[in-house]
Amino acid sequence: MNIFHEILVNQLAVEGRFISDEGELKKFVIIDAAFNMDRTLIGLLLTKKELKQKFFTQIAGHWVFDINLFVRYMENKNFLKDSYTRYRNKIGLTINGKFAKQSNEVALVWPFKDCILEGGQTEEDQKRPEIFFNEILAQEEIDQLTEPKVLVNWERYTTDGTQKVTDIKRGKNGIIKENLIIKGNNLLGLHSLLPQFENQVKLIYIDPPYNTGNDAFKYNDSFNHSTWLTFMKNRLEVARRLLRNDGVIFVQISDYEIGYLNVLLDEVFGRENFVNKISIKTKSPSGFKTVNLGVFETAEYILFYGKNKTRFKYNPQFVEKKYDTNYSLQIDNMSKDYKEWTYSSIKEYVASENGYTNAKEASKQIGKNNFIEKVGDFALKNSNKVFRFTEIGNDAGKDTIEKKRSSIANKGVVFKAEREGKDDRFILNGKEISFYKKKVKEIDGKIVPTTILTNIWTDIAWEGIAKEGGISLKKGKKPEKLLKRLIDMATKKGDIVLDFFGGSGTTGAVAHKMNRQYILIEQMNYIKDLPEARLKKVIGIKTKKADKLHEKIEFDISGVSKALNWKGGGSFIYTELKQYNQTFINQIEKAETENELIAIWEEMKIHSFLNYNVDIKKHDENIEEFKTLEIKTQKNHLIKLLNKNQLYVNLSSIDDEDFKVSDENKKLTNDFYEIKEEETVTQTKTDL
Ligand SMILES: C[S@@+](CC[C@H](N)C(=O)[O-])C[C@H]1O[C@@H](n2cnc3c(N)ncnc32)[C@H](O)[C@@H]1O
């Protein structure tokens, strides 16, 4: 029994009604008492600090009893082995702490939903057994797992190259003002960000393993379905806490999990905070064989939610469009007063400018498409006077409707309707003169005709992205242009952007070029060769001549660099969650022979944290039998022996000699979490 259970059992046993003649707790009587808000029961729970913290929530200075949680706890078969079934049907299907019967929501329910899954991996192609911690029964274990971690191997990169980190810069509001690349499991990474970044992040983009079994990430791309959902739920819940109230999250996913992920996001973020489902064309069928099972799959999706949708302000986006031939007229004398305006066809004008007798002749001579292209070029260059007529709806402002009427009564005369905060409207013969300039905008540094962005994106090329950033990630790399659009939609300069499935670092690279602050988390050992190397290229390096650094910088010119007129510069900090038992897991994963595994086991006996029930002596006595197992099974077995709560070093253990945290790392970790040296010492003493 763990300590919490012991406290609960001992406290409830104080009340005679709650124990049987055999001295066992009467579970059903206690549950009845809970449903009846029994004063004695509530009094007992309130008088023990641990019980109060778990089963009560503080609201406006009052402690409110969480009856659902308490009943769930009592009913859990692992807690008390009482066979009483009266309440069985009431439990299990709870959503956000409410019984399903009482809730109107549609939600996903699956085994191990209320569990935490660590979900770690450092090498490609490796699988290892997962453990689920039950949120109710293993509170202590979960607290340890999700406690902020010690950070080590700090490096800062600038145009002068890699430097030692001596301080962590903060903004006026006290928030860390550094770009961060963090190596480690993202669940623990997110929890380590919470103390500093809760309610601070403006945009989260994630591109998790799609769970199709096809990705390079053999391990967590082939979770079984419910395990994948637990993995995502655990991470999304912390991610939500990191977002600002006006912050947003974009989650990219394929056909395979989209339906489930949509419901999960509804549950975590609230259905009312759903903004869009964006469909993106990621490939075209040309050159592919026909598929027998259904139509060719080309779409991926981005699910877009706000933390609080009503607080989010969208920056409207536009996409390039071909010339719209409806814009076929021009005002001949723009510089005159509008009342004197006359108009004519631009096709005829362009034809005569090019020496043809009329448009029909021009089209015949140079081909229809070429001629339209010329007309389009003219329209673009003269968009302030090129126009089309559009209908005026009955919902237009009062002045517009009045002028519309007058213009119908006075054919051939242009009227002007004024509008507050908007351009004036010009009206002729009951129709609006809509200028082409409203459609012309600058996109990626080019002046082009545009149309408003919809939720179907077909204009972002996937071909050629392998070269972006000068690094390659076999599967899963996303185009810089995609990230630029998302960041444009929801942020401004200086806002914090987070991607905790960092991959090749596309989000970081684009955020950097757009002067946003960013945080990337990635657990794979390739973090150094991919995102870190890529971000170094983005920042660039001063050129060297005769071994001296010159001011001229060489920087990444791929991806969106040109569109953003990127010139290099800035910095980032790289750091890692300090591993402990995880280092043994890494060694086990890498090992190729039985002898290597046995040598690791010898080390583990002395230096690792083994599960409490591992009997070293018995294990050694049976080592010959261990040797008969397949190497894969041997590996899984050794990993199973390790205590997964000790994969990384907890902040509260920073001063523990066993973990050998250097003074430099202690200082920087404490700076990161804003802990004064004295506080750590006091805390450690009390802990002891
Ligand atoms: C599909 S890739 C992301 C690709 C990225 N959007 C890009 O453009 O390069 C997903 C990444 O998430 C990482 N990942 C998966 N599970 C993780 C975990 N539990 N902690 C940290 N990183 C994880 C994988 O190693 C992989 O690099």
Name the residue with higher pLDDT: 93 or 262: 262
Contact 424, 417 (CB under 8 A): yes
119 pocket-lining for ligand 1 (C-beta < 6 Å): yes
> Residue 129 is which amino acid?
P
CA–centroid distance, 351 to ligand 1, in Å, is 56
What 363-369 contacts at long range (C-beta under 8 Å, 24+ apart), as own/partner pairs, is none
Average pLDDT of the residues of the chain: 88
523 pocket-lining for ligand 1 (C-beta < 6 Å): yes
Nearest residue (CA) to ligand 1, atom 3:
503
Neighbours of 72 (CB within 10 A): 21
| Predicted pLDDT of residue 685 | 33
- Tokens matching residue 69: 């949680």
For the CA of 478, the closest atom of ligand 1 is 8
| Mean pLDDT, rounded, for 338-344 | 95
For the CA of 506, the closest atom of ligand 1 is 8
Helix (H) or strand (E) segment spanning residue 598: helix 594-607
582 pocket-lining for ligand 1 (C-beta < 6 Å): no
| Mean pLDDT, rounded, for 376-397 | 94
Quick one: DSSP state of residue 316?
Answer: -
| 381-390: pLDDT as tens digits | 999 999 999 9
Contact 481, 559 (CB under 8 A): yes
pLDDT above 90 for 651: yes
477 pocket-lining for ligand 1 (C-beta < 6 Å): yes
| Mean pLDDT, rounded, for 7-28 | 86
Nearest residue (CA) to ligand 1, atom 7:
477
Neighbours of 220 (CB within 10 A): 21
pLDDT above 60 for 638: yes
CA–centroid distance, 264 to ligand 1, in Å, is 19
For the CA of 215, the closest atom of ligand 1 is 1
480 pocket-lining for ligand 1 (C-beta < 6 Å): no
| Mean pLDDT, rounded, for 158-187 | 96
For the CA of 186, the closest atom of ligand 1 is 20
| Predicted pLDDT of residue 144 | 84
For 520-550, what is the HEC assignment?
EEECCHHHHHHHHHHHHHHHCEEEEECCEEE
| 426-470: pLDDT as tens digits | 999 999 999 999 999 999 888 999 999 999 999 999 988 999 999
Name the residue with higher pLDDT: 400 or 95: 400
| Predicted pLDDT of residue 551 | 83
- Select from 501, 527, 528 the residue to mutate for testing ligand 1; criterion: most ligand atoms less than 8 Å from CB: 501
Q: Select from 503, 554, 555, 508 the least CA-distant residue to 529.
A: 503
| Predicted pLDDT of residue 82 | 43
221 pocket-lining for ligand 1 (C-beta < 6 Å): no
Least confident range from 91-100, 304-313, 443-452: namely 91-100
CA–centroid distance, 311 to ligand 1, in Å, is 29
> What is the four-CA torsion angle of 70, 76, 80, 82, rounded to 10 degrees?
110
Q: Which fold has domain 115-284+296-317+460-577?
A: Rossmann fold (3.40.50)
- Select from 191, 482, 522, 585 the residue to mutate for testing ligand 1; criterion: most ligand atoms less than 8 Å from CB: 522
CA–centroid distance, 499 to ligand 1, in Å, is 9
What residues does each domain of the chain span? Answer: 3-102, 115-284+296-317+460-577, 320-452
